Amino acid sequence: MAWIGGSAGVFRLHDSDDNCGSMISLVDAAEIFEVQVNTLTALADTALKIVEIEDEKFINELDLHLAWGSGAIPTAHPPKIDRARRSLDELILMKLIKIVYPKCSVTPQKKAGRKWVDLFVDVGGNHVAIEFFGPSHFIQQYSREITPPSDRKILIERFLGCECVIWPYWIQRCESNVRALFDRSAEGKASMWSTKAHFGDFVLPNSSEIVIALSSRFNAIETEGIGYMYLDSRTKNKPVHPIVKRIMDGKDKMERLIPRGNDKPNAFWLPKCIKSV
C-alpha cells in the first residue's frame, strides 16, 4: 500500500466496472469488512478519516488498510492468518467474487506447501487459486528478492492441482476481471489511477513479456496496446493518472511507462495523448 500516490477516484463495490479509485464509501467499506456502518463511524476520531464527496461519506483505502492491520476494525476477517498477512486488495477481491458468483466458496490464505495462496475459489466444483501481486513483486523494495511471477504460479499449481492466476495491481478490481477468472472469453480491463509504481521501474529483464502475459490472462490488452489504462476510456468514472500530465508537461519521461525487454512499438504502452506528442 506504500505505493499509493494519492486519494483519487471513487470505487463502487456494486458498480466496479465503471467506478475505479482509491476512495471507498462508508457503506461499501462496512460491507467489505462485514460490520455495521456505525462501527466504522465510531472510529472517525481515532483510526479513520471520513470525508464527504457530493454528500456521501468515503474513506481512503490506505486508511482502511492501516486501521484493519492495526486491529482497530472489529471484523471477523483477521488481517493475518497464521504467518500470512492479508491486504485490503484481497478482501475487496473476495467480496467481488462473491457478488459475481453468490454460491461460490472462497478460502483466504489457503496452505500450498510451505506457502499460502491469497484466495482459493470454488465455483461449482471449478477451482482457481489467486495471488494478488502488488508493486513490490515487480520493483525492488527493502531486501525482498524479485522473482518471475511464473515461479510462484508453478509452485502453487503443483500443490493445489488447479490453475493459479496472478492478479497484478494494474488489473482493475472489478466484476469483469472476476468473470475472466472462469470465462476465458470475458473481456477484462487494466487501470492505473494513483500508484507511484510504473512498468519502467520493474527490475526483471523480461518485464515486458511478464506484463503482457499477466494482462492477457484477463483479456485486458487492446489491439493498439495497453496504454488505455492511464485514461478514462474504458472505465466511466476513473481519474486520469497524474503521470500523463507530468509527461506531457515535460516533468517526467515516457520511458517510465515502458518495461524492460520491450520489443513492441513504444506506442503499445502509451496513452493516445502521449503517442501524439
- Look at residue 3 in the predicted model and tell me its pLDDT: 54
pLDDT per residue over 1-28, tens digit each?
555 556 678 999 999 999 999 999 999 9
Task: Round to whole Å and give the CA distance between 255 and 252.
Answer: 9
- The pTM of the full predicted model, rounded to 2 decimals, is 0.95
pLDDT tens by residue, 60-89: 999 999 999 999 999 999 999 988 889 999
pLDDT of res. 234: 87
Cell numbers for 28: 461499501
Domain boundaries, the chain: 79-275
**Average pLDDT, rounded, for the chain:** 94
As averages over each run of 10 residues, the pLDDT of the chain (277 residues) reads: 66 96 96 97 92 94 94 95 91 98 96 93 97 94 87 96 97 98 96 93 98 98 96 90 95 96 96 77
Question: C-alpha grid cell for residue 226?
Answer: 495497453
Q: How far apart are CA 49 and CA 24, in angstroms?
A: 12
Q: For 79-275, give the CATH class.
A: alpha beta
